[in-house]
């Protein structure tokens, strides 16, 4: 079973706006509302790929109940720790005319030490059934910065591959627990190395340095430019065709789901990278966050070129 961890879930609200302008009143069609936060997008896409993930993390208040009822409707298995405070809402405004994507991500609720300890204790029980674990997203308040490192060490001790998609300090600390794979996008990798920009060679160097610390693979997602997969003795570049983009929010999560699915099926790394890109692309072609279509993924797989660098 794949376990997906979302420590900071969110109700994701996404609006399509034309000529989005600051400081103006704008009327829009009703937004699409999904059970989100990166890990829940990963879970939804895994389900669309035919997997039965178990979703865990923290949920609270009315938003938490709404998310649970959505997960039930979608047939997603879940086991969340109930918290005192309210689960957050995140907002995305997509303007396909201007080609902009504006996101307002709430920081999320406060998690008490008792709630955190309960999560770790439940997680250690779930670990016994896990074949692969993904953890995605920011940390809610009160959670120690090294929690992903602790989770990774627990997974490593049980020989279960751990995949991490986070940013900033949570990534910096998380890497110390030696996850099997991390998925920064280019901006997150730049932030990690403290640079404004990175060339392709510099990205490969940065990823290799991360691998020297004990991480086995670094998957760098590059939006419409495709992706890089770097390991100790592997550098693969995926080049992708142009596609009609509707809503790219959640493409990173869909990519992670594609990678987890392909790894679980023990595909070779070139094929894994293709599945990861195809799922990210398929999501970008839909209005809903964290939605793919298998027939489109299969068609996209034939159009992605992977080269060994």
Ligand X SMILES: O=P(O)(O)OC[C@H]1O[C@](O)(COP(=O)(O)O)[C@@H](O)[C@@H]1O
By CB under 6 A, name the binding residues for ligand X. Answer: 8, 10, 12, 36-38, 41, 90, 105, 137-138, 249-253, 289
Which residue of 67, 230, 245, 272 would you call a contact of ligand ADP, by CB under 6 A? 245
Number of helices (H) and strands (E) in the chain: give both, helices first: 10, 14
Least Å from the CB of residue 237 to ligand ADP = 11
Q: Helix (H, G, I), strand (E, B), or coil: what is residue 71?
A: helix
User: Residue 297 burial by CB count (10 A; 0-12/13-18/19+): exposed, middle or buried?
Assistant: buried
| 116 phi and psi angles, rounded to 5 deg | -65, -45
Cite the DSSP H helix spans in 130-199: 147-157, 168-175, 186-193
Least Å from the CB of residue 76 to ligand ADP = 21
Q: Is 5 in the site for ligand ADP (CB under 6 A)?
A: no
Q: Helix (H, G, I), strand (E, B), or coil: what is residue 32?
A: strand
Which residue of 137, 161, 248, 290 would you call a contact of ligand ADP, by CB under 6 A? 248
Residue 8 binds: one of ligand X, ligand ADP, none (C-beta under 5 to 8 A by kind): ligand X
Which residue of 11, 277, 297, 306 would you call a contact of ligand ADP, by CB under 6 A? 277
Which residue of 36, 60, 226, 290 would you call a contact of ligand ADP, by CB under 6 A? 226
At CA 290, angle to CA 288 and CA 295, rounded to 5?
90
Residue nearest to ligand X (CB): 137
Q: Is 168 in the site for ligand ADP (CB under 6 A)?
A: no
Least Å from the CB of residue 59 to ligand ADP = 23
First to last CA, the chain: 33
Distance CA 151, CA 174 (A): 9
Q: Computed from CA positions of residues 283, 65, 133, 102, in that sequence, does the dihedral angle turn out positive or negative?
A: positive
Residue 24: how many CB atoms within 10 A of its CB? 7
**Contact call for residues 228 and 95 (beta carbons, < 8 A):** no
Q: Is 137 in the site for ligand ADP (CB under 6 A)?
A: no
Strand order in the sheet with 10-16: 32-36, 10-16, 88-95, 100-105
Options 62-70, 110-118, 152-160, 247-255: segment touching ligand ADP (CB under 6 A): 247-255
Options 22-30, 41-49, 131-139, 278-286: segment touching ligand ADP (CB under 6 A): 278-286
* String marking each residue 70-99 x if it binds ligand ADP according to CB under 6 A: ------------------------------
Residue 90 binds: one of ligand ADP, ligand X, none (C-beta under 5 to 8 A by kind): ligand X
Options 110-118, 132-140, 203-211, 216-224: segment touching ligand ADP (CB under 6 A): 216-224
Residues near ligand ADP (CB under 6 A) are 185, 221-224, 226-227, 240, 243, 245, 248, 251-252, 255, 277, 280-281, 284
């Amino acid at each position: 079973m794949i376990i997906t961890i979302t420590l900071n879930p969110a109700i994701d609200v996404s609006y399509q706006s034309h000529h989005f302008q600051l400081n103006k009143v704008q009327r829009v069609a009703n937004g699409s509302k999904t059970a989100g936060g990166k890990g829940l997008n990963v879970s939804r896409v895994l389900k669309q790929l035919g997997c039965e993930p178990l979703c865990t993390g923290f949920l609270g208040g009315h938003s938490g109940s709404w998310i649970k009822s959505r997960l039930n409707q979608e047939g997603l298995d879940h086991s969340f720790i109930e918290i005192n405070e309210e689960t957050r809402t995140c907002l995305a405004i997509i303007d396909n005319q201007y080609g902009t994507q504006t996101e307002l991500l709430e920081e999320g609720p406060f998690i008490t030490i008792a709630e955190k300890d309960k999560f770790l204790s439940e997680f250690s029980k779930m670990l016994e059934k896990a074949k692969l674990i993904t953890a995605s997203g920011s940390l809610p308040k009160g959670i120690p910065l090294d929690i992903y490192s602790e989770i990774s060490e627990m997974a490593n001790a049980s020989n279960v591959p751990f995949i991490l998609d986070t940013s900033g300090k949570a990534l910096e600390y998380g890497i110390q627990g030696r996850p099997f794979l991390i998925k920064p996008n280019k901006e997150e990798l730049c932030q990690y190395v403290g640079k404004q920009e990175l060339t392709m060679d510099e990205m490969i160097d940065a990823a290799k340095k991360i691998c020297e610390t004990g991480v086995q693979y670094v998957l760098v997602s590059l939006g419409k430019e495709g992706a890089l997969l770097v390991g100790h003795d592997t550098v693969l570049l995926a080049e992708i065709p142009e596609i009609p983009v509707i809503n790219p929010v959640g493409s990173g999560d869909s990519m992670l789901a594609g990678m987890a699915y392909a790894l679980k099926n023990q595909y070779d790394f070139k094929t894994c990278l293709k599945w990861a890109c195809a799922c990210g692309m398929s999501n970008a072609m839909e209005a809903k966050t964290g939605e793919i279509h298998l027939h489109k993924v299969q068609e996209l797989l034939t159009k992605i070129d992977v080269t060994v660098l």
